[in-house]
Homo-oligomer: A and B are copies of this chain.
Amino acid sequence: MSESASPVKFRPEEIPAELGGLRMTKQRKEVYCLLMDQRDHPTAQDVFIRAKERMPNISLATVYNCLEALVNHELVRQVNFDRAPSRYCPNLEEHVHFQDLETGAIHDVVFKKGININDFLELPEGVEVRELELTLKGIMPSSTKKN
């Protein structure tokens, strides 16, 4: 699981003008850096509020547009829990999400090494799985919460 509390590592100035085929504008860099720095799975609103600190004129629509562009170019993942506002996650490694019902915090969880989807699901012969989204909710022991 991860919820890395790192000092600011990513600065907009350091982001190249293009990333994964996407032209990185000032706003896209800002949004992307926010996600990379504070990997706490913020909503678009959360990103908007944080982005305004450094770019007071940024609009919520632009934040949505930036997030959509980043998601489409697979620089960021969109995470949905039920019908709650989407959250965004820059962790591109295969993982699923666990939400702590006590704190609301979302943690990344990885699959066991070497596990295959057919090892745990009864899928019919020949089905081709293109996307998988797994979300969990539950209680983290407080000893683990700090991680």
Which A residues contact B (CB, under 8 angstroms)?
1, 78, 80, 82-83, 86, 96, 98, 101, 109-112, 115, 119-141, 143-144, 147
Contacts and interface: CB of A to CB of B under 8 A. Distances in A.
21 contacts: A80-B82, A80-B83, A98-B123, A101-B130, A109-B121, A109-B123, A110-B122, A111-B120, A115-B119, A121-B136, A124-B144, A126-B140, A127-B140, A127-B141, A127-B144, A129-B137, A129-B138, A130-B137, A131-B137, A132-B134, A134-B134
A125 B112 contact: no
A1 B6 CA distance: 44
Contacts of A134: 132-135
Contact of A129 (B80, B120, B133, B136): B136
| Identical subunits present | 2
Contact of A120 (B98, B120, B124, B127): B120
Contacts of A86: 83
Contacts of A120: 111-112, 115, 119-120
A103 to B, nearest CB: 13
Contacts of A136: 121, 129, 131-133
A145 to B, nearest CB: 10
B144 A139 contact: no
Contacts of A110: 121-122
A112 B123 CA distance: 9
